[in-house]
Structure 1
Amino acid sequence: MPYMKPDDQRLLFVPIGGSGEIGMNLNLYGHRGKWLMVDCGMSFADNHLPGVDLIFPDPEFVEDEQEDLIGLVLTHGHEDHIGAVPYLWSRFQCPIYATPFTAALVEDKLREAGLLDQVELHVVDALEVIELGPFSVRYIPLAHSIAEGHGLAITTSKGTLFHTGDWKLDDRPLIGPACPSPVLTELGEKGVLALIGDSTNVFNESESGSEAAVRESLKELVAGLKNRVVITTFASNVARLETIGEVAKATGRRLVLLGRSMERIVKAAKSTGYLTDFPPLVDEEDADYLPKDEVLIACTGCQGEPRAAIARIARDDHKHLQLSPDDNVIFSSKIIPGNELVLGQLFNTLASKHINVITEKDAFVHVSGHPGRAELRKMYGWVKPQCVIPVHGEARHLQRHATLAREIGIKHTIVPKNGDIIQISTKGLKLIDEVPVGRLALDGTEIVSVADEAIADRRRAAVQGFVTVSLVFDDDGALAAEPLLAILGLPRGDDDVFYDGMLDAVETGIERMPRSARHSDTLVEEAVRIATRRFCRREIGKNPGVASLINRRSELEFQ
């Protein structure tokens, strides 16, 4: 049964992903019986999900409301806002709206997933108004660390909402319009009921800074370096890629691109009118043959991703390029919280090869794409929202953003968590209900719950080891042969004394079972599991996963 009836005049906001976390942004707005979805993003798995690369918000509630879902509106092309589209779209199957550059990235993803012919993808121009049922949506250009970052002015019969998306202030943008813009003041003059906004950088008091300043700094830095120079950055930052091209031209170096995602972004940028003066590229196969002082390499992997180009170069397993002592690697990026350890390992790997590593801590090589508190104050001064709902951040970010809004004088704030249904009105914000939320994982080619038993087994095996026990029973329930054990990932697993002790424990566990119980595979499996784990805990302090392979002699004879 639909959550809302067609005559339901309430204005609702429901974060499904991205509130209480950074990444996996998926938000719903509800009004007069219809839902509008904003963004559909992913995040990267951590070590808690071994064998899994990508995770997505669980769109169970969206699926339940599919008949009343009128569209998916994408704010910009970062993976945490569009990355789940090819994986989840079949669950809700609605039209998608995006500006040209973002649409080009989504189109490429849909083509790769074999969905391009099925998806209704609409390309929208900035400032164009699109009518979607009870919602009138206008794309508001904002500065960000990717081409075509946008906020959304969503007008309803109850008032106008401003969903900022990801943004920053930049009065000297290299790509896109300057921000601030008169459109923001215009919004405030007309009246904004609620601002739903980016909280990522709320702990930074100062403004983020301009991409133009980074360009000037990188030109000066690279001009003073000898030997090869590698700049690794976020592939999606088209302005930074343009800067790297300008640095190559200014320093007389030839440009090489490494990394599939970087190549994809450059292709999409050129097809939508960006990077028109980008220098010609040298094939990666030829990069190693260029004089060292004449090469500049732009590559992926600035967050230490193990499969990305810079990590493979550091491990000496890139098929075309190796670095030498006194070469230089510039990390033109922020060290994202949570990535400190893996990046530290990458820095040390490069340093052990006598390669010069330069990060944001060593030189001015990066500016954030998210607003600090100074920028948030300015935004609120222009837009003048009656209510503020912080999103796009961990709980601590959202709490600090709400505090800032109250300090500025905004009376109505609420700190959401995924699954909250929040009613927005001129009286303020009210939590009225909750819906089911969760996380899905891309496990190989299958999309499963992060609580899937296979992932749990894999995690246990990674930490505690695994034992497989093979058993053959007679018709009367007696063991017809000595059990066989396969031991994986346990200390002393190759020790004959340890093996024999575990074997005795398994046989004893079975012998203590009533004969009638041994005809039940379930009861046998449980007895073997208990006996094996008890032995391992006592002997080596491990609690391994246990699997039993059970055969019956009569079954074997029949086969």
Structure 2
Amino acid sequence: MAQDKLKLIPLGGLGEFGMNCMALRWQDDILVIDAGLMFPEEELLGVDIVVPDISYLTENRDKVRGIVLTHGHEDHIGGLPWILSELNVPVYGTEFTLAFVEGKLEEHNLLDDAELNEIIPGHRLTLGPFSIMPIRVTHSLVDCVALAIHTPVGVVLHTGDFKVDLSPTDGQPFDLQAFAELGKQGVLALLQDSTNVDRRGYTPSEKAVRPRLNEIFGQTKKKLFFSCFSSSIHRIRLAMELAAEHGRKIAIIGRSLDNSTEIAQDLGYLEPAPGLLIHPGQIKDFPPEKLCIMISGTQGEPMSALSRAAVNNHKFARIDAGDTVLMSSRVIPGNEKSIYRVIDHLERRDATVIYDDGTAGLIHVSGHGSQEELRLMINLVRPKFFVPIHGDYRHLKRHVELASSMGLVEKAILMEDGEVLELDRNSATKTGNVTVGRVCIDSGGAASDVVEDLVIRDRRHLSEDGIVLPIIAINKGTGRLENLPEIVMRGMAVPEEGLIAEARQVVQRTLDGSSNEEKADYGVVKEKIRTDLKRFIQKSMSRRPLIMPVILEI
């Protein structure tokens, strides 16, 4: 009987923000929804990105039918290069999403081997026993879809990231009708985005920022620097319209903005007025009041165009006194320090900085639905079972409470990464766990750049306690010491020179107490020195630095 159940297995995104990846399994067929990454917390020293552990998929590689993407944000597609290097399966996404994916795979030399297939909202796609209907939803990016997955036991609806915007700037509204139709046919399980579950009311439409942005364009006397997420095509389109209305030329600065605006223009999502766009090199040819400079770096990334311009270190973007810098985005938790550092630099240049401080009108709106939209979706589709996705544990818990309080759902189930939920037409039961976790990657590279836990532990150790290098020169012929051991200490506040002299004596005593046979075996000598020095430093300084003896043969 277990064979006749649908398995729902989250591999990432439940219990954290980012790394979204969900597997659906029916007998010998697995469908994967999204393949995201997560940006590392501070304690993951030197790690650039974090992707889900896909051991479960690699162990069942012959059963994976494909990866279907809901939209093109990094937390949904950023893990693809890593996953496809391990598991080359077909990828499905909308036109705009695939354009982002192509650039990402090309960067990692994976594009030639990848099989990318376009999906269109309202057109079904069949993968093994799964018949998938993409449904148009609105979000802070264009061309986003929810997925209605028809399985042998019923429909599983995966919302992706969404908000209910009936008047978006691209004229492609949220498809309420399709969700209402699904509700009439019956939905077995609803997997719903939990990002804004703690926000009351509705999330405003993208058009709600227009009045305040229009005011800023009108009031700015000199250059206007406009910074937003490079994927916020709606916002970029709005800025282009306002720049044209206020007689300003637009220069685009920053690789990510360049790429996304180019893709959006190619696909018809951006149609700048003729002559509106200028090359960054032409900025100096126009008076300041005739310029709007779109610049990347809204989160204060150290090497971004805005960060460099803020310290007067950019070839084209020069911020002068009286210029206005508008940061039209939210502060992502964890980025506060770097954002406020950039704002401080901008203030030093006597620029007017406008950022999302909750005052004087909207300059940014969220791309995620608030409580009333989440309720609306549950009301429309009336699922039998409800599973919150995309969020920290507290968001998922709050979302279960919200769904349960409506009295429309038979069972709301709180799940975390790795748990297996088995569904049939009448029941939903957790039955076990699969291996999940996170894989840390340096420099956004391929599989060879995986950072093991041990490496991160060493980095943390070094950052907290420093390093000690005892350097011993031994005569190869006689086995005798050539001179007193040298001690190099880094990352340690050494109280006085006397400590280093004492440490030398400790090493010297260890060597004097070793037999010729021990001295001939450098592995043994190193271990003895490490042990004695560790004991001495711990006793005198209460520190546990990394100790790496170096033996030089002379």
Quickly name the TM-score band, shorter chain normalised: over 0.9
Structure 1 SS opposite 2:113 = coil
Of 15, 32, 35, which aligns to 2:10? 15
C-alpha distance after superposition, 1:464-505 (max 9, x if no partner) = 222222234467876454323333222249x64443233223
Contact 2:85–2:446 (CA under 8 A) maintained in structure 1: no
Contact 1:439–1:450 (CA under 8 A) maintained in structure 2: no
Structure 2 SS opposite 1:346 = helix
Of 19, 37, 57, which aligns to 1:42? 37
C-alpha distance after superposition, 1:68-104 (max 9, x if no partner) = 0000001100011111112221211110111101111
Structure 2 SS opposite 1:192 = coil
Tell me whether 1:487 sits opposite 2:486 in the alignment. Answer: no
Contact 1:148–1:176 (CA under 8 A) maintained in structure 2: no
Tell me whether 1:51 sits opposite 2:46 in the alignment. Answer: yes
Tell me whether 1:503 sits opposite 2:504 in the alignment. Answer: yes
Structure 2 SS opposite 1:298 = strand
Could you say which residue in structure 1 is the equivalent of 2:413? 414
Structure 2 SS opposite 1:393 = coil
Could you say which residue in structure 2 is the equivalent of 1:467? 468
Could you say which residue in structure 2 is the equivalent of 1:432? 431
Structure 2 SS opposite 1:293 = helix
Contact 1:8–1:33 (CA under 8 A) maintained in structure 2: no
Could you say which residue in structure 2 is the equivalent of 1:529? 530
1:236-275 to 2 correspondences below 5 Å: 236-275=231-270
Structure 2 portions without partners, runs of 5+: none
Name the % identity.
33
Letter in 1 for 2:378: Y
1:275-290 to 2 correspondences below 5 Å: 275-277=270-272, 280-290=276-286
Letter in 2 for 1:486: V
Letter in 2 for 1:19: L
Contact 1:412–1:428 (CA under 8 A) maintained in structure 2: no
Tell me whether 1:341 sits opposite 2:343 in the alignment. Answer: no
Structure 1 SS opposite 2:347 = helix
Of 298, 314, 319, which aligns to 2:315? 319
Contact 2:442–2:450 (CA under 8 A) maintained in structure 1: no
Could you say which residue in structure 2 is the equivalent of 1:203? 198
Tell me whether 1:97 sits opposite 2:97 in the alignment. Answer: no
Could you say which residue in structure 1 is the equivalent of 2:289? 293
Could you say which residue in structure 1 is the equivalent of 2:385? 387
1:179-194 to 2 correspondences below 5 Å: 179-194=174-189
Letter in 2 for 1:469: P
Could you say which residue in structure 1 is the equivalent of 2:211? 216
1:145-160 to 2 correspondences below 5 Å: 145-160=140-155
Change (3 A) 1:514 1:192: farther
Change (3 A) 1:48 1:514: farther
Contact 2:202–2:369 (CA under 8 A) maintained in structure 1: yes
Greater mean alpha carbon deviation, residues 249-258 or residues 74-83: 249-258
Matched residues in 2 for 1:434 and 1:180: separation? 35
Could you say which residue in structure 1 is the equivalent of 2:298? 302
Could you say which residue in structure 2 is the equivalent of 1:28? 23
Aligned length: 547
Greater mean alpha carbon deviation, residues 127-136 or residues 438-447: 438-447
Tell me whether 1:330 sits opposite 2:326 in the alignment. Answer: yes
Matched residues in 2 for 1:461 and 1:241: separation? 43
TM-score by length of 1: 0.92
Structure 2 SS opposite 1:168 = coil
Change (3 A) 1:434 1:523: farther
Structure 2 SS opposite 1:418 = coil
Could you say which residue in structure 2 is the equivalent of 1:367? 365
Matched residues in 2 for 1:290 and 1:503: separation? 67
Matched residues in 2 for 1:519 and 1:135: separation? 67
C-alpha distance after superposition, 1:399-454 (max 9, x if no partner) = 11111110112231222111111112333432111111121122244545554433
C-alpha distance after superposition, 1:348-392 (max 9, x if no partner) = 232233221211223410110011111101111111111111111
Q: CA RMSD in A?
A: 2.3
Matched residues in 1 for 2:33 and 2:15: separation? 17
Change (3 A) 1:478 1:368: same
C-alpha distance after superposition, 1:86-133 (max 9, x if no partner) = 222121111011110111111122222211121111111111101000
Structure 1 portions without partners, runs of 5+: none
Cα deviation, residue 515, structure 1: 5.8
